[in-house]
Structures are given as C-alpha cells and as structure tokens.
Chains A and B, each alone.
Chain A
Amino acid sequence: MTDLSPAPRRAYIEVEDLSVQFPTEDGLVRAVDGVTFSIDKGQTIAIVGESGSGKSVTAQAIMGLVNARTADVTGHVWVDGQDIVGMTDDELRKMRGSTMAMIFQDPMSSLHPFYRIGAQLTEAVNVHNKVSKKEARDRAIEMLQKVGIPSPEKRIEDYPHQFSGGMRQRVMIAMALINSPSLLIADEPTTALDVTVQAQIMELILELQQEYNTAVVLITHDLGIVADAADQVAVMYGARVVESGVIDDIFYKPEMPYTLGLLASVPRLNQVRADRLDPIPGNPPSPIRLPSGCVFNPRCVYKDRVEGDLCATERPALLPTDLGHMVRCHMSKEDREAVATIALGTLGRETA
C-alpha cells in the first residue's frame, strides 16, 4: 500500500479532513463530512455533486465564509502553509481578495446594484494595496480589458444592471482576479448562463488561470464542464468525497458505484446509447438524516456484492485504489472493476 500513497509533500492547497456541521432545530446537518483533497498552483480540481452534496459549503469553508457562530468547522484547510480554519476575521479578510478569491453562480446578486462597477472594482484594489485613485482605476480598466469588456474606460462608469448576464460574470471574474490571487474558487460559475456564453466564460477562466498560474477549485454539477476544464476531480455525495483522482481515472476507470451511476445516467450530446437511460434509483439523501454506513448504500445496486450488511453499518474509508485515485467503497477492487465494466459496458466505453 505504501507505494500507492501520495508523496509526503505539501501541495499548494491542502484540505484535510474538513467537516462542517450546522446545528439546527431539526437536528445536526452534516454539510461536509471529512473532505480531503489537495491541489497545486496552475491546476484545476473540480468538485462534482448534486444539490445538497456539500460541494458549495466546502467552497465556502475554504474561503473562511462559514459563520463560526452558526456552524462547527473542524479539520484543516492549508493554503500555502497557512491554516484557514481557526483564523481570526482580520486574518481572513487579509487573505480574501488577495491570496484567494471566489466567483459566484449568480452575477446579478453578487454585484452591488447601487454602485458603479468601477467603484466596486477599485474597492477590491484599495483594500489590499496602498495605491492612488488613478492607479486603482487604471488597474480596474486593465482588468476589464483583460476579461473582454469592450471600451472598458466607458463601461467602468456603468451600473451592474447595464450589463448582460455574461458581461456581469466577466466583471465578477475581473474583480476576483484583480489582485492576482493564487487560489480561485469558482462556484457554479456558468450555471446561470447560456451555453454559448458559458463556453466564452470557461475559456476566459482557463486562459487567466494560465496567465496567473492560479489554483482553481471548480464547483459544478455538469460533467461536461468537468471534462472540459479539470485536471483532478473529487466526486461528492452525501457530504463526503466518494471518489477522487485525475480526470481520466474518474471518467474512464471509475470504481465507486455512484460515479458509475452518474456517468451511465447522464444524457450525452455525442451519443444516444439506447432509448432508455440507466438512472440511479431513488433520491439523494437529506443531510439531516444521512444513511448509516456508506451514504450511498440505499441507492447502490451492487451492495449485495459485499458480505453481510457492512454497507449499511460501517462507513467505508476513502482508500487509494491506484496512484492518486481514491475510492470510498466496501467492495473489493476486483468487484469494483467488474461492476465498472457492467455499468459502463452499456455505454460501450472501454474501461481498461
């Protein structure tokens, strides 16, 4: 096993056993439960999952945006050697916007409607740098130019409502990258946009990532975007990472039944496999009542391959199955590979 474990080297971003719990009247909501992954500068990790799987809360915890008064955050988020968890508000404020920045899903509600975008962009510069008004403004115009806003010296005087959805998302990206952060978190950055605009925005993010050598955490539910943009993938289900690895491992050699189900059930643009899709039965779990044992066991069609009721009683660990490829499943490796062939065989895809 030792040869499979990752080298004892610190990646630029290292999320270690991160858990976020919200005590509510209905019970404890485990939004994130022991999430671990790491990512280097210039790399993109995609966190994929359905609504309620905990991917957005993971992103917020990395940014230190989870309110410590209402939530219980444990574990570590190492950004360049500094632990975000346990930082004071002041320390966090220094990190946010300069070392790390975030792009949100809805560009309309993330920009202040009453302020000109110029004011909002220069504020981001002024908070972290001692610069003159002129310099801040020049920097804002330069950034707008870079994200492809035509005649930025004029548009800088405009209000958010004067921009289209795609243009607003460009402004958001300009604001996020104005202090050249080394970590960018993009939480469903294109979900609110049309596909032709989505393609533009994704290309812009990847282009700027190369220019600034940024580490990108991309939160999405769209496997197409993952295939397009990610180097690494962490699949989340029921607040846990159930499978992680490099992109080719996840798409061509998946071993966790949930990943298999996801890949087999999503309709594809480039092929119609059969007239019926092969869906995952049942519904995603509630974060208040996560199933015991493996969170996926009530929907898993392969659980009879595991002896006894291990799947329903004991929580499987996230273990390496191959170099850099981690799987959370009780099945033996032979069984996991066998069910992958069964599940993806209907896809007509090579699994080897």
Chain B
Amino acid sequence: MADVAQQILLSEIAFSYRSQNARVLDIDRLSIDAGEQVAFIGATGAGKTTLLRLIDGRLFGWTGRAEVLGRTLSPRRAAPRNWNANIGFVFQEYALIERSTVYQNVRNGRLGRTHSALSLVGLFSDRDETAVTEAINDVGLSDLADQRVDQLSGGQRQRVAVARCLAQEPKVLIADEPVSSLDPTSAEKVLDLVRACAEARGATLLISSHQPKLVAQYVDRVVGLKEGQIAFDTPAGAVTPEQLGSLYGWHVADTAARSA
C-alpha cells in the first residue's frame, strides 16, 4: 500500500523552554500511520509529554514542520476546535473537574463538537448525550454517572478521563503517562481499556510511559526518547535490554538484573 494516510508527520522539530538552553525536543523525523499503536518511553525529562502536547496542538514556540490529521500545525496559533476535538488526550493526573459529576466531566469531552453558545446554557444535542452515555458504559462507570469525581478512587478517575476522551470521538487517542499514579492492577485495567477502546473505534493510539515493560505489551511499536531525541524506533517485540539501558542510563548488567 503506497498511500496509507500518514496521520502524523514531524520533521526537523526543535523546541526549548525560554529559560533553558538545552533542547527539550530535537526530532529529525517521526511518522505515524492511521491506526498504529505506539508507545513513547524514556526517563523523566526525556521529552515524552512535550512531544505529545505538540501532537495535541497545545505546544507553541517550536520550529520545524508538523502535520497532524492533514493540518500543518502553527507554532504560534491554536488550532480550530474541530481539529482539537479529533485528538483526545488522557492526562497523567486525570485533569478532571473535581466538583463536577462523572457525567458532567465526560460531557466536557463534547465541548469541541457541540454548539458553543447552546452548551453555555446547558443545551447539548442528542448526539452529544449518546456519545457521553456510550463512553461511560464503555469504561464501566454507568452506576457512578451521577457521583462527584472527587469521591472516586484513582483508577475510577482515570477511567472517567478515558471516557471523556472517548466521548470526543477522537481519531487519535493520546495517553500521557496514564497509569503512573495507579497501582499495578488498576494500571493494567486502564491500559486494557484504552487499547480496546482505541481498537474498537479505529483510532491511532499513542501512549507515553516510564514503565517500558508494562506498556510494550499494549502496543505494536516502541519509540525510545532520550534528551528530546529519538534513540530508537522498533516493533514492540524487538526492544533489547541494551536499548532500554541506554534510555535510563543503566549498565547492561544492571538491565539484566532488572528484567529478571
């Protein structure tokens, strides 16, 4: 297939924070096709979150060329809301509205799709309501729909955040360290859920994590980031201990011990 739509294409991307000299992102080329499932791994500060924010259209002040979902991103201006709605983002710390209910939080995922003025007076379309209900069902929280989210556990909150993202009906589903604040059992449940939902909807899935072993089981491609650069980019099964060691600055012997 010569012409699978390249959904995401970054070239010659460079970004640094104004106060620092060090490059936070320094990417020659990264191309991701529609429907791919990719994990971004690397130590804290390797640029994972920054890269995902760039793809989500919420990073400004970078140089280079970035095309996402057929749109050339501007390093200065925010993208139109229709485009934003096509890219869903699950945050590490859930980023929910604490005093709102599960239903209200998930409905916030529709804000980019619905009529802006009508939504302000509380009017949402049937399509919106259906998408919200389905998303809540998909993450298994129907019984808690009217609970305030500040009464939920961490795992439940992250499922609310996933539902909010699903209600957006995204073409690209980004999850930034979605399980780093969760215990291992909840973490696996959330990752299962995220992958199943992305597959069911045919969405491209991008997950970042500093738990390479865990997240590699859920994707088909792993991109290693170190100091803002792509250290390696391989199929999920082919990541070597040496590659992981290079990302985290372990010695190889150490790596063997850790993977044992």
User: Are A and B interaction partners?
Assistant: no
